[in-house]
Amino acid sequence: MQGVVPTELFFSAQGRCPQPVFQVPRNLLSESGAAYCRTSLAARISLDPRVFCDDGDAATDVAADFMWPRKSDATPNLRAMAAPSRPTAKVKLSDGLVQSLAVGKVYRDHKGPVSGMDFTYDGQHLVTSGEDKSVYVYSCEKAGRVRHLRCEKYGVGLIRFLHNDRDCAVAASRSEAEHLLKYWDFHDNKYLRLFRSHTARVTSVSPHPYEDLFLSGSEDRAVLLWDLRQERPVAKINGQGTTIASFDQQGLVFAACVGQPKLHLFDTRNYAKGEFTSFDLRPHVPDQAQFVAFSPCGKYLLARTRSQMVLIDAFDGELICEYPEEAPQTPSAASAAPVASVPSFSPDSQYVLSGQPNGDVCVWATTNARLVHRLEGHTTTPGRVLFSPAHALVVTAAETLAWWIPDTAPP
């Protein structure tokens, strides 16, 4: 199987949702890698204490966070993943393709849990932040790291790219003393601006897709709207508990949860007039939402509480379905502090993905919560799960970073 060059998605002329056409990321599978991925996934999930490093020269000990397949002749040649560009191949996102997802590459760059992760809008680059105070940027075209940055003073929590720019991001600190947000220039490795208004841990960061704006939520009971050109917030929404907020894919509307089982929707250009509608979630969920996101097509809202995950109609607030969440399998895991697994949509809104306490990642059909597939391999809860916005690529993160790609050649 030859690698292919990733290109942009094609968008439907009949609506905002992209057609389910994706590209297999180039360089993730060499010929040996293709043969490797055709082997049984179940047979490849046995723990081997030694695996090839990303440079292919040496071996390192592996903690039991990800169960890597046994070393064999079919192990991917990681250097071959950086082969020259080849013609583009396209695949349709379907149940069959999702069920064929298998591990193409594993990174162990972070020395602790991954706390933030984001793709650029074109799917060309991925950024991760970790509790080890490190930030890594990966090229999806080259299937390799392109940047490593450190933040010793403040630490790094959540992180998001800005304006499809691989060199700029907004990141939340992990400092107990200062709960600030950083406008970070990766190219020069400097902070262009520090935003200091929050007084407690930042719980959500959502950049506007094309304006110089972003939203932040916090445990200090406030949602703040920021302009990148100003040090102080341009708007504040006061709440009654921990707050979260998120823009829709077009940046026209944003949703906020401010401490109650209720979602408030605001017009981005007329937020000063207050919410234009709100949805009471108490008939469906008893707790406040800890995560909220619009689907790429704009029709749905995905809300997650401490114990439930539900899909809400973005126009009338009606419950569409609830996704079954699995309980921890051991008493020690049940008594431990829960890991906040952040769910996500596929780019065409067909699927919802979320990590589970047993280490699996479940993929459900969006509108009926039908389980389509499980991605098995992590041995701790994958706190971050993302589907590339442009490629047939899923990235899951606990302490390791796993890249999942289809194990069948595109037609």
- Tens digits of pLDDT across the chain (411 residues): 333 333 233 223 333 333 334 444 444 433 333 333 333 222 222 222 222 223 332 223 333 344 443 333 333 333 333 444 444 567 789 999 999 999 999 999 999 999 999 999 999 999 999 999 999 999 999 889 999 999 988 889 999 999 878 899 999 998 888 899 999 999 999 999 999 999 999 999 999 999 999 999 999 999 999 999 999 999 999 999 999 999 999 999 999 999 999 999 999 999 999 999 999 999 999 899 999 999 999 999 999 998 899 999 999 999 999 999 776 655 444 444 455 689 999 999 999 999 999 999 999 999 999 999 999 989 899 999 999 999 999 999 998 999 999 987 555
Which residue type occupies 401? L
Strand segments, DSSP code E, in 53-173 are 59-61, 90-92, 101-107, 114-119, 125-130, 134-139, 144-150, 159-162, 165-172
Q: What is the largest CA-CA distance in the chain?
A: 64
Global confidence as pTM: 0.79
Q: How far is CA 153 from CA 15, 134, 167, in A?
A: 46, 11, 20
At 14, list the tokens.
């009949």
CB half-sphere exposure, 17, CA atoms < 13 A: 16
State the CB neighbour count (10 A cutoff) for residue 332.
Answer: 8
Give the model's pLDDT for residue 152: 87
Give the model's pLDDT for residue 28: 44
Among the listed residues 148, 137, 269, the one whose alpha carbon sits nearest the alpha carbon of residue 208: 269
> Cα separation of 141 and 125, whole Å?
8
At 313, list the tokens.
């109609």
Give the model's pLDDT for residue 59: 26
Give the model's pLDDT for residue 329: 55
Among the listed residues 177, 193, 203, the one whose alpha carbon sits nearest the alpha carbon of residue 230: 193
Asked if residues 309 and 343 have their Cβ atoms less than 8 Å apart, the reply is yes
- Is residue 372 classed as helix, strand or coil in its secondary structure? strand
> Cα separation of 364 and 255, whole Å?
23
**Phi and psi at residue 31, to the nearest 5°:** -60, -40
> Cα separation of 202 and 207, whole Å?
14
> Cα separation of 71 and 353, whole Å?
29
Burial 96-118 (b: 16+ CB within 10 A, else e): ebbebbbbbbbbbbbeebbbbbb
At 115, list the tokens.
């706390």
Q: How many residues does the chain have?
A: 411
Give the model's pLDDT for residue 89: 63
Give the model's pLDDT for residue 310: 97
At 122, list the tokens.
């074109």
Report angle CA 293, 377, 25 to the nearest 5 degrees. Answer: 65
Give the model's pLDDT for residue 330: 53
Q: Quickly list H helices, 258-304.
A: none
Identify the CATH assignment for 119-196 out of 2.40.10.480, 2.60.120.480, 1.10.10.10, 3.40.50.800: 2.40.10.480
Every domain of the chain and the residues it spans = 119-196
